[in-house]
Amino acid sequence: MSSTFEALPDEILMIIFQYCGGVYNIFRTFSGLNKRLNSILVDRRLHLFTDFLCMHHSNTNLDYYYNSALFHDVSQQLLSLTKTENDKKLRQCFQSLVFFHIKAHANQLKHEFQSNIKHFQSTRLLLTNEETQYVDEELKNSLNKLKICPKSVKNIEKIISLVLKQGARLQYDDNESHEFNLTKSINELLLSKLNSIEYCTRQLINALVQMFKSLIISNPSFLKDHDWFYYDSYGIHFFLCYSIYHINNIHSHKIITSINMQCYQAALDLLLFTIQCLTHSLNDEIWAKIYLLDILNMLNFTNVVTNHEIFIEASQIGILNIVLNEYSFEDKILLDEDFNDTFQRILDNLIENNRIQILLCIYHTNERIRNLFQKSWNNQKYVNIMTKNRTTRQFFHALLNDYLLRTWLISTDLLFILLQKRECKLVKKLLKLSPSLVHQCDNDGNDPLLYVCLNVSGCRQSIVEFLIKMGCDLQRRNSMNQNLIDALRLEKNRKLLRRLIEQKMIQIDDVSNEITTTLFSRLQ
C-alpha cells in the first residue's frame, strides 16, 4: 500500500522537495525509493540540476544544458539508481554535471569575449575625436563615482553601457598610483563578499561582473594591475585563484563557515573570462604557466566542508583542466627548474592527501605532462605512502583502476616493490588486471615467482601459490642461472617448499629435477 506522501500529485511533491535542503541532500534522501520519485527528481520543471549548478531559471542556456547528451545520460543514471547503491555513484553524476558546466561556460565566455571585443573596436573606430574624449571622460567620472557609491547598480550599468555601446575606454597608466586599479576593485567590491554575511543581490553581483568584463575588453592592460597581499603584490589571476581554491577572502583569517555561492560563481566567471582574454591577446604561454603555478600552489588538500563541496571541488578540477589544456608544455618550459620543483612537490601532496581526481586530471592532460609526471614519480616512496592505512590503500586501488595510468605503472618496477612489501591484495589486483605481468623480470632476470623466493622474507606461501596459479614459468632461470628449485632448496625456503608439496601445488621430478604443477587454470 502506498503512503500518503506517495499519493500526493507530482506538482505538490516538487514543492515539498524544494524545502528539503540542498540539491544533493534531496537526491540522497529521496532517490532510489521508487521509480516515480526518481522520475520527479530529474524532471526539468523542478530545475534541480541547474539549481545545483547555481544557474538562475531565467538563464538563456537552460535549453542547451537540458538537451545535451550529458544531462540525458546523468538523468538516465539517476532514474535507474537504487537505494542499495552507495553515495559514490550519486557524487560521480553531480561531478560530471559540474565538469560539463565549466567547459560549456568557458566556451560561452570565449564567444562572448570575441563578440564584445569586435563590437567595441568597431564602435570606437567610428567615434570622432570629440566623441572619444567625451565618452572616455564620462567613463572616468563614473568610475570615480563607483568609489563613493559602490552599490549603485545604475552607475555600474552606465559604465557597462559606456564601454560596450559607446566605445568608451579608460587609459591605462603603468604607474602603480593610477586612479583606477582593476585588481583592487575586484578584491574590494566582489571577492571580499565571498565569506561575508553582508547581503548582496544577484543583480548587483551580475552587474559588477559585467562591468569588470567590459573594462577588460576596453583595455586588456588592466589585467596587469596588482594589489597587495602581505608584503608582495599580485595580479588579478592570483586573487581569483585564491578565492576559488582556498574558498576564502584573501584578507580574511577566519575559519570558513559560509560561502556566498553567487560570489564564488562570479570569481569562476571572471577567471574563465581572463583566460579567454589572454588566450586571444597573447601569443606566448607565459600567462598559462603563471596561472598553472598559482593553481598548483593553491590546491587545497583538506576536504571542503560545506553544502556546496561537490560543486566547489569539481569546479577546481574543471578550471585546472582548462588551464592544463591551454598550456602545451613546450620543452623549454618543462626544463624550467622552478616548474619541475613545484610539480614534484604538488605530486607528493596529491599522493599524501589522496586527491585521486586531481592527480588523474593532471595525468590525462596530454603526453608532455604525462612524461613530466612519470619523470617525477617515485614508486618506492609512493607505495610506502599509499599502504599506510585503509584510506590510502583505497586511493592506491583507485589508481590501479585507471587504465591509462596503470598501463604506465605496470612498465615500472611497481610489481616488485609490492612483492617486497608482501602486499598480497595489491599484487593480486595488479596481476588480475594485467596477467602478462607474471612474465616481467627485474634487473637480475627474476620473474615475480623467483623474486619472491629469492628476495622476500617472511610468510610467502599465499603469494607464491597465487603466482603459480597465475602461470609463472616454473623452469625460468635468472642471470645467475638460478631456477625455482634452486631457490626453494635454500635454507630459508625449506619450510615453504615442504608446504607447497603438502598442498600438492608442485611436484619435483627426482630424475630431471624439474618442478611441475597440476594447476593449469588461472584465477578468474
Q: Is residue 416 part of a domain?
A: no
CA distance 164 to 121: 9
Return the amino acid letter for 410.
I
CA distance 157 to 211: 7
Q: Is residue 70 part of a domain?
A: yes
pLDDT at 97 over 90: yes
Burial class, 239, CB count within 10 angstroms (exposed 0-12 / middle 13-18 / buried 19+): buried
In this prediction, residues 486-497 reach a mean pLDDT of 88
C-alpha 216: how far from chain center = 28
pLDDT at 62 over 70: yes
Q: What is the pLDDT of residue 268?
A: 96
Q: Is residue 400 part of a domain?
A: no
pLDDT at 100 over 50: yes
Q: Please identify which residue in the block is written with the cell numbers 531559471.
A: 57
pLDDT at 521 over 50: no
Domain stops at, among 85, 120, 151: 85
Q: Is residue 136 part of a domain?
A: no
pLDDT band at 59 (very low <50, low <70, confident <90, very high): confident
Residue ranges of alpha helices (H) inside 248-387 are: 261-281, 286-298, 309-326, 331-334, 337-352, 356-363, 367-376, 379-386
Q: What is the pLDDT of residue 176?
A: 59
Task: For residue 272, give every residue at least 6 positions away whose Cβ sits within 8 Å of its Cβ, in sequence order, or none.
Answer: 102, 105, 106, 109, 319, 322
pLDDT band at 405 (very low <50, low <70, confident <90, very high): very high
Strands of 155-237 (E only): list them.
226-229, 232-235
Q: Is residue 511 part of a domain?
A: yes
Q: Which domain holds residue 518?
A: 439-524
Domain stops at, among 50, 67, 85: 85
CA distance 463 to 509: 23
Q: What is the pLDDT of residue 119?
A: 95
Q: What is the 3-state secondary structure (H, E, C) of 70-126?
A: HHHHHHHHHHCCCCCCCHHHHHHHHHHHHHHHHHHHHHHHHHHHHHHHHHHHHHHHC
**pLDDT tens, position by position, 115-164:** 999 999 999 999 999 999 999 999 999 999 998 888 889 999 999 999 99
Domain stops at, among 85, 117, 147: 85
Structure-block grid coordinates of residue 88: 559514490
CA distance 21 to 8: 20
In this prediction, residues 477-504 reach a mean pLDDT of 87
Q: Is residue 178 part of a domain?
A: no
Q: What is the pLDDT of residue 52?
A: 92
pLDDT at 522 over 80: no
Instruction: Tell me the percentage of the chain whose pLDDT exceeds 70.
Output: 89
Comparing 391 with 86, the larger pLDDT belongs to 391
Helix orientation angle between 309-326 and 286-298, rounded to the nearest 10 degrees:
150
For the chain, report the end-to-end CA distance as a whole number of angstroms. Answer: 44
Q: Which CATH number fits the domain that encloses residue 451? A: 1.25.40
Q: What is the pLDDT of residue 161?
A: 95
Comparing 296 with 257, the larger pLDDT belongs to 296
pLDDT band at 104 (very low <50, low <70, confident <90, very high): very high
Q: Is residue 481 part of a domain?
A: yes
In this prediction, residues 310-320 reach a mean pLDDT of 92
Q: What is the pLDDT of residue 179?
A: 78
Highest mean pLDDT among 157-166, 192-201, 315-324, 368-377: 157-166
Q: What is the pLDDT of residue 210?
A: 96
CA distance 410 to 415: 7
**Number of domain units in the chain:** 2
**pLDDT tens, position by position, 155-208:** 999 999 999 999 999 888 766 556 789 999 999 999 988 877 677 788 999 999
Structure-block grid coordinates of residue 216: 577588460
Q: Is residue 475 part of a domain?
A: yes
